[in-house]
Structures are given as structure tokens and as C-alpha cells.
Chains A and B, each alone.
Chain A
Amino acid sequence: MARRALWRVGGADSPARIAHLDRDRPLVAAAKRDPAQFDALYRRYLARVYSYAYYELGNHHAAEDATEATFLNALASLERFEERARPADGEGASTFRVWLFQIARNEVAAERRRARRRPTAPLEGALTIADPLDVQADAERHDDARAAWQAVGRLPEDRRQAIVLRFVDELSTAEIAGVLGRSEGAVRVLIHRALRAVAGELTRPE
């Protein structure tokens, strides 16, 4: 399993600071010089972007479409991407992945709008399709995992996105705040409430 290589710098009152060890900044610089070098960033973030899209859309094909659009858009507009991290944010600090997930979030929303315009499944079937564990044969056997996902899937959109970005994509609270366009404090409360809601759902007697 991928290791997390992030931690927050400074106290609770400090602005959203992120220290990375993931070396995004040199890869971004290389890709700006030579677009063919974007491949390294693509390989690094493919599973994360795809997972995010899959949890949000619940459909392999839709997730693939959103993932493809995300990376093509990212490469096409990489020239306009500006590194916003400051030296005080730590060596190698980068806002690239926040920018990438902002694109992914927009593409997921666009994909959802497209699906609404041309629904391909009856409404009753949507709940089943929206469960990614149904299509993952390995994970399907784990009832606990299924129950956890279903509980997360029933959360309101902003809470669900925050939980998926935190637990699946392993983004920090500061990064999630950047992706969702909220303050760090608001994201903390969002995740805390989401955890309580999921706990309530999972511990409720059947």
C-alpha cells in the first residue's frame, strides 16, 4: 500500500501549510520544460484520481472518462499552472496535487451532468451501480468493507468527498481545503461530522 509522505507544518493557527516529500515540484518543472515528462506525474497520480472518480461516480466507464479528461486537461494547461507553495511550506512543497484534484472534481461534476442528461440505468439500479465494491470481486467478499463504503456513500456530497480525499487519496486537511475551496477549519469539522455520521450508521442495530 502506498505510504503517505505528508505532514502539516506549524501549529493549528498557521495557514494551510503542507510539507511534501513526494518531489512533485521537480517533476512539474520537468514537465513544463518537456511535456513528455508529464508521464511521471501521470503514473504517480493515476490510481488516486481514478479512485476519487470511481468513488464519486460509482461506474468504471464514467470514472475512466473523468480520469482521462482530468489528465488531458492537466497536461494541456500545465503551462498556466503556477506553483503557489512558499519556501516556508517546506522543502519540495507543491500545490500540484491540489490543482490536479480541482480539475478532477470539475470533471467528475461534468461527467455527472452528462450522465443526468442521458441516464443509462433505471433509478432503482443506481444505488447498486454506485457501489464500487459490487464490481470489485476481491473486495466484494468483505462485508465490513461493503458496509463501510455504503455508509460513506450515503453521506452528503461534501462530506463524502472529504472522506474519500482524506482516507483513499490520502490528502491532508490543507490540501482538501484547497480542492473543495473551503477553509481548513471547515474541512476539519466536515470530516469530524462525517466520521460521526458513518459511525452512527455502522453501529446502528439492523
Chain B
Amino acid sequence: MTGPQGDVGEIEALVTDRYLDALLGSRPEVGEVAGPEDADGVGAVVRAISQRLATDLPRFHPSFRFEERLALRLAELAASMRLPVAAGGEGQPIPLRRASPMLERRATDDDAPPDDRRPLLLGGAVAASAISLAGAWLAWRRRATQARAGGNGA
């Protein structure tokens, strides 16, 4: 329940709020003017401290390096949000199964630099290549069979 004291406090707070609206809205002149004209109801103490805080509390800016680093992270996040699923936007790198020990040994024997054996991200291109190879092999088998059949017929 709000008593008379509370009412007075709320009215004072409302007048202060109006004063702050006017004061902060005219920031550049804050040091030069005594206060907005409609500030009659604001106590001298509140007025003085408001003006002081308006000028003495600075706004800080982070370092340029931080700003650009975060901008880059946001751009990366934005790009991942924008990419459609069909283009691999929601795709995640899939760790490959370890190659057979024999293949690993061969890779070592070839003196390949160790960095070249990093995990690969496989996608549709490899699948398409596999289908093409299978198709070529089938076509070759068919031609070879037909040639053999033709030879036998002759």
C-alpha cells in the first residue's frame, strides 16, 4: 500500500525522470546549461549529481582487434545460418574410419609428409566418381563379353 510518503517519493521520481529525459537529450550542452527549463521541481542536489554523472560516466569501447575478431565470428555464424541444407550448410565434417594397416604402411613407404594424411571431408563428388567408375567397369565388362561372344560365334 502506498502512503503519502510513497506518493511524494513517486512524484519526485517522476519529476526527476522528466528532468533526466531533457538533460540526456541535450548532452552536448550538458556542461554549459544549468538544466532544462522544466526542471523547477527537481532538487538542486539531484540536478547537480545528474549533471555530474551525465558527464563523468564515460562509455567504453572495446579494442579494435576485439571488435573485428567478433565481427568475423558473427559473419561465420551468419554464413552457416544462411547456407541451405542442400549446399551443405548443416553438414558436419565426418571423421573417416581408419584406413587398413596395409594402406597406412604404403602411405608411409611413399615418404608422404605426415600432414598430407589429415582427415578428408568427403561429399557428393566422391560418390559421383564411384558411380562413374562402376559404370565404366560395367560397360567394359559388357563390351568384353560381347566381343567374346562374337568371337565364339565366328
Contacts and interface: CB of A to CB of B under 8 A. Distances in A.
Interface of A: 1-4, 6-8, 12, 34-36, 38-39, 42-43, 46-48, 50-51, 54-55, 60, 63-64, 67-68, 71-72, 75-76, 132, 136, 139, 142, 144-145, 148-149, 152, 163-164, 166-170, 172-173, 185, 188-189, 191-193, 195-196, 198-199, 202-203
Nearest to A190: B13
A197 to B, nearest CB: 9
Contacts of A144: 52, 56
A58 to B, nearest CB: 11
Contacts of B54: 167
B127 to A, nearest CB: 30
B10 A7 contact: no
A166 B20 contact: yes
B133 interface: no
B40 to A, nearest CB: 16
A188 B9 CA distance: 10
A51 B59 CA distance: 6
Contacts, number: 143
A189 B10 contact: yes
Contacts of A55: 57
Contacts of B9: 189, 192
B13 A4 contact: no
Given A4-B24, A152-B57, A191 B52 contact: no
B136 interface: no
A148 B52 contact: yes
B62 A36 contact: no
Interface of B: 9-10, 12-14, 16-17, 20-21, 24-25, 27-28, 45-46, 48-50, 52-54, 56-62, 66-67, 70-71, 73-75, 77-79, 81-82
Nearest to B22: A7
Given A51-B59, A68-B73, A188 B52 contact: no
A68 B70 contact: yes
Nearest to B27: A1
B45 A36 contact: no
Contacts of A202: 49, 52
A196 B28 CA distance: 24
Given A72-B74, A195-B50, A3 B57 contact: no
A167 B57 contact: yes
A63 B70 CA distance: 13
Contacts of B62: 46-47, 50, 60, 63-64, 67
Contacts of B24: 4, 166-167, 170
Contacts of B27: 1, 3-4
Contacts of A193: 13
Contacts of A36: 75, 78-79, 82
Contacts of B70: 42, 46, 67-68, 71
Q: Which 9 A-B pairs rank lowest in CB-CB distance, beginning with the nearest?
A: A35-B78, A192-B13, A199-B49, A188-B13, A148-B56, A145-B56, A35-B81, A36-B78, A47-B61
